[in-house]
Structure 1
Amino acid sequence: MTPLECVELQLAAYNERNLKLFLTAFAENVRCYRLPDMVLTIDGKAALGEFYAANRFVHEGLHAKLLNRMVVGNKVIDHELIHGLGPEPMETSVVFVIEDGLIAQVFFIPAKSPS
């Protein structure tokens, strides 16, 4: 898959809350980080699946609205509005790094710093 196709697949699966399809877009050794402090939040595809099964796909109203997207080489940068995790939508940016047709790294950049 191209970087764009890979990220489009994961977003569609996310919005369908289809964990099996969602995970097909990710490398076995995927690593997810929260910026700006570079905290490693998820290490490996198994941990990614466990996290999304327990903390994301359980929310019936879950939906990511794509506001903007840039593709720069093997990186795709999405600006999203996430609905269904709380009473108000959450604005975030996500940088996906694609290697060998799969998402290898993810960097989450929240619009607001955690309190």
Structure 2
Amino acid sequence: MSNMTPLQCVELQFDAYNARDLSRFLEAFAEDVQSFRLPEMTPTLTGKASYAAFYAEQRFNRPGLRAELINRIVVGNTVIDHELIHGLGGAPIETAIMFVIENGLINKVFAIPGKS
């Protein structure tokens, strides 16, 4: 169990994402974390080990990777970020990410891709 507030937890993962610091990034997540890409409700990633493999092999190895925060909303144990993700293609990718925090760690992540 972590003593982080929902905001602190999301700030930790955001800063570690931009630093491409995998071990620090994973500190923000629960062992049984699940990730979804809405509108689908089938998990795209399940468990911290899946997160570690995905971000090591498909994200943190990209030198131009960074997230630009446009807006952040905190509602109870849920934090919603509006972001531009740079470094995955030619143009930044607009997305909203909803983090649900339980016991001080990110337990569920819902990605809402922007329409291009």
Query: 2:44: which partner in 1?
Result: 41
1:103 Cα deviation after fit: 0.2
Q: How many residues align?
A: 113
Q: How does 1:12-91 map to 2 (within 5 A)?
A: 12-91=15-94
Q: Deviation string for 1:45-87 (max 9, x for gaps)?
A: 0000100000100100001000000000000000000000101
What residue in structure 2 maps to residue 111 of structure 1? 114
| TM-score (ref. length: structure 2) | 0.95
Q: Runs of 4 or more off by more than 6 Å in structure 1?
A: none
Distance 1:39 1:91 in 2: 22
Distance 1:40 1:2 in 2: 25
- Distance of 1:98 and 1:18 partners within structure 2: 21
Give the SS at the match of 1:15: helix
Structure 1 gaps of 5+ residues are none
Structure 2 distance, partners of 1:53, 1:109, is 22
Q: TM-score, normalised by structure 1?
A: 0.96
Shift in Å, 1:89:
0.4
Which secondary structure state, in structure 2, belongs to the residue aligned with residue 88 of structure 1? coil
SS at structure 2 position matched to 1:87? coil
Of 11, 14, 35, the match for 1:11: 14
| RMSD between aligned residues | 0.9
Matched letter for residue 114 of structure 2: A
